[in-house]
């Protein structure tokens, strides 16, 4: 299947102190520059006094480019103390996938990219094992094996960062990559590293969560996709899902059911990031419709 490009649209994401008139002023600004608004969603956080919004419009007839938008919008942004960013749907993010032994999330992402569901480029797959090489090559994606066994983390990450720079990567997806990234690595890609954790965080963080869930006799297991921060498994959560289990399910049943959830949760998080639907604030996220 040939991936299909979305309509050419622009998206602005805004967060600022909540006050009257924000929607009216932004809508009027877009109207004055001949924008046809296609989608608009907003959220108020009453506890923090914040207003957050995502507005998407058709670029046909719109009379500002990115530089012109920034210049014209600046007075409004200053007036309302806005943090904002402008994105364009026709730009394909360049995404690198990190993986270890388990390749089910990798397979799902590669298929969704090839089928056109994920509007992005995947120039490379990086792994500390060679298991996923055939899968990557089947999808015609270059595979880079960087072992982590006896090599220092610093040397491993130096090679990884060099590859990411060479391929102009803007998003890193950890598709069951079972290595902890250093704070230095994470700081290079703030809110641009997405991980899937095979547990419904904050329960059973860290290693072997299915084993611990089985020992505890839980009735629900889940998966969590989140942005990576310097604190392990504590980054802003993007998506979660659960499945019910029973006393009849053994450890391998939990693992199999969990893998199905992991794929869905990670792919949704990646798609929402690519479509610029996520705003991070106060250690959590808003995912706009």
pLDDT of residue 246: 85
Q: Determine the average pLDDT of the residues in 196-218.
A: 71
Architecture of the domain defined by 94-287: 3-Layer(aba) Sandwich (3.40)
At 37 the pLDDT is: 97
Average pLDDT over residues 174-186: 95
18 is catalytic: no
**Averaging pLDDT over each range in 6-15, 107-116, 221-230, 246-255, which range is the top one?**
107-116
Q: pLDDT of 129-141, one tens digit each?
A: 999 999 999 999 9
CATH number of 9-88, picked from 3.30.460.80, 3.30.70.260, 3.90.330.10, 1.10.10.10: 3.30.70.260
Within the chain, all domains assigned CATH 3.40.50.170 are found at: 94-287
pLDDT of residue 4: 42
199 pLDDT band, cuts 50/70/90, is: confident
Q: What is the DSSP string of 17-76?
A: E--TTHHHHHHHHHHHTT-EEEEEEEEEETTTTEEEEEEEEE-TT----HHHHHHHHHHH
Q: How far apart are CA 166 and CA 147, in angstroms?
A: 19
Q: What is the pLDDT of residues 26-52, one digit of tens each?
A: 999 999 999 999 999 999 999 999 999
Q: Is the pTM of this model over 0.85?
A: yes
* pLDDT at 5 > cutoff 70: no
Q: Rg of the chain's alpha carbons, rounded to an integer?
A: 21
Check residue 245 and give its pLDDT.
86
CATH code 3.30.70.260 region(s) in the chain: 9-88
Return d(Cα 75, Cα 264) in angstroms, integer.
41
72-85 average pLDDT score:
98
Tokens of 260: 């199905």
> Is there a contact between 84 and 55 (Cβ–Cβ < 8 Å)?
no
Per-residue pLDDT band for 206 (boundaries 50, 70, 90) equals low
Distance CA(262)–CA(225), nearest Å, equals 8
The pLDDT-based confidence of 221 (bands split at 50, 70, 90) is confident
Q: Average pLDDT, stretch 140-144?
A: 98
The pLDDT assigned to 1 comes to: 40
Residue 143 pLDDT > 70, yes or no? yes
Contact 96, 164 (CB under 8 A): yes
Q: Is the dihedral of CA 165, 166, 169, 174 positive or negative?
A: negative
173 against 223, higher pLDDT: 173
48-83: burial string, b at 16+ Cβ within 10 Å, e else: eebbbbbbbbebeebebeeeebeeebeebeeebebe
In the set 15, 103, 108, 233, the catalytic residue is 233
Query: 250-278, pLDDT tens digit by residue?
Result: 888 888 888 999 999 999 999 999 999 99
| pLDDT, position 224 | 93
Q: Stretch 85-93: mean pLDDT, rounded?
A: 96
41, 23 Cβ separation under 8 angstroms? no
Task: Indicate the pLDDT class of residue 3, thresholds 50, 70 and 90.
Answer: very low
**Is a pLDDT exceeding 90 seen at residue 240?**
yes
Q: Return the pLDDT at 205.
A: 65
Mean residue pLDDT of the chain comes to 92
């Amino acid at each position: 299947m040939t991936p299909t490009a979305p309509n050419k649209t622009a998206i602005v994401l805004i967060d600022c102190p909540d006050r009257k008139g924000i929607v009216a002023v932004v809508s009027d600004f877009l109207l004055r520059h001949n924008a046809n608004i296609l989608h608009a969603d907003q959220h108020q956080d009453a506890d923090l006094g914040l207003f957050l919004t995502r507005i998407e419009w058709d670029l046909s007839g719109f009379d500002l480019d990115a530089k012109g938008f920034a210049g014209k919008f600046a007075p409004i942004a200053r007036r309302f103390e806005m943090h904002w960013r402008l994105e364009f749907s026709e730009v394909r993010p360049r995404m690198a996938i990190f993986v270890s032994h388990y390749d089910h999330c990798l397979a799902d992402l590669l298929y969704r990219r090839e089928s056109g569901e994920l509007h992005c480029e995947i120039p490379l797959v990086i792994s500390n094992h060679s298991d996923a090489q055939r899968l990557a090559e089947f999808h015609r994606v270059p595979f880079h094996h960087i072992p982590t066994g006896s090599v220092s983390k610093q040397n491993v990450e130096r090679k990884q960062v060099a590859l990411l720079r060479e391929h102009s990567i803007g998003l890193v997806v950890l598709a069951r990559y079972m290595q902890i990234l250093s704070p230095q690595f994470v700081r290079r890609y703030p809110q641009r590293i997405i991980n899937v954790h095979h547990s419904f965080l904050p329960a059973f963080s860290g290693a072997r969560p299915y084993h611990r869930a089985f020992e505890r006799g839980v009735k629900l297991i889940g998966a969590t996709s989140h942005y990576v921060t310097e604190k392990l498994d504590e980054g802003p959560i993007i998506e979660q899902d659960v499945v019910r289990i029973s006393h009849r399910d053994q450890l391998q049943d939990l693992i199999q059911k969990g893998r199905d959830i992991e794929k869905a949760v990670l792919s949704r998080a990646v798609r929402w990031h690519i479509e610029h639907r996520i705003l991070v604030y106060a250690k959590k996220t808003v995912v706009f419709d």
